[in-house]
Amino acid sequence: MQRALEVALIDVGGTLWPNSWPIRKADAVGRRLRIRAAMPGIEPATVEALADDLIESSRPGDEARSISTENLASVNSPAEMLITGCLSRQGLPADEDMIRRLRSAMSIPISDQMQPLPGAGELLAEIHSLGMRNVIASNTYWRDAKSYWEDFRLLGMAEHIDCIITSVDAGHLKPHPAVFEMAMRWAEVPPERCVVIGNREDNDIAPALALGMSTILVYPDDPKPLASRANAVAPDLWACAKTIRDMCRTV
């Protein structure tokens, strides 16, 4: 008999790792080094001017994300628009490959200051032990799947992740269903075999319910929600793991 639940689609900010992202002085230094490496053969003065512009232009967004790692931008590819603007001010062509390399250079790697929320690794392992697959389904600004793989490898969590889909890869931010739809296409499963785990009613739970998926609202790094339409609500990731176990027994 086929299992009822086969795939967990898991949010990251406020779900697997904290809502807030610390800003450090070294971030700009690291970005500048990665921008230089991403632009071989370009006049050094032009590269420095581009790096100044990219770092300065992204400051308001970075500061906003130090309060919440949820992407609050209303356009679907805000990073691409910002990079395109910076390139054009330096008279440089904004081709797709150049934009991708600069987006990756601007993505700040995970640091030892950034630890997953308690029980994150165990949740992923528990889902695997139930015979299900784990797909990261995340709204991001700079990060694409490749950047995230590096983060999760550094955090020692990559072995329990089967696929990563970000809004950058899907071309739309949640609550648009593109991230979840891409995950279903990858997993080759219908929505009723998926459970979405996330910390946001609007971005995670609502679009998942609209598609016909099961849902668990978690709040390991948020205040207790007053109400939710989710199938289950879990205060932490240990409780979430138990909820998934129970769901697998009963559905």
Tokens 């590269």 identify what position? 47
Task: Choose between 14 and 220: whose C-beta lies nearer to Mg ion.
Answer: 14
* Residue of this chain nearest to Mg ion (CB atom): 14
| DSSP at 248 | H
- Which stretches of the chain are assigned E, i.e. beta strand? 7-10, 133-138, 163-166, 194-198, 214-218, 232-234
Task: Choose between 102 and 124: whose C-beta lies nearer to Mg ion.
Answer: 124
Q: For residue 195, which of 182, 211, 214, 219 has the smallest C-alpha distance?
A: 214
How far apart are CB 16 and Mg ion at their closest, in Å?
9
Task: Choose between 144 and 204: whose C-beta lies nearer to Mg ion.
Answer: 204
How far apart are CB 180 and Mg ion at their closest, in Å?
14
How far apart are CB 97 and Mg ion at their closest, in Å?
30
Task: Choose between 69 and 77: whose C-beta lies nearer to Mg ion.
Answer: 69
Tokens 């609202």 identify what position? 217
Q: Which residues sit at the interface with Mg ion, rule CB under 5 A? A: 11, 13-14, 199
Helix (H, G, I), strand (E, B) or coil at 17: strand
Q: What angle do CA 151, 155, 158 make, to 5 degrees?
A: 75
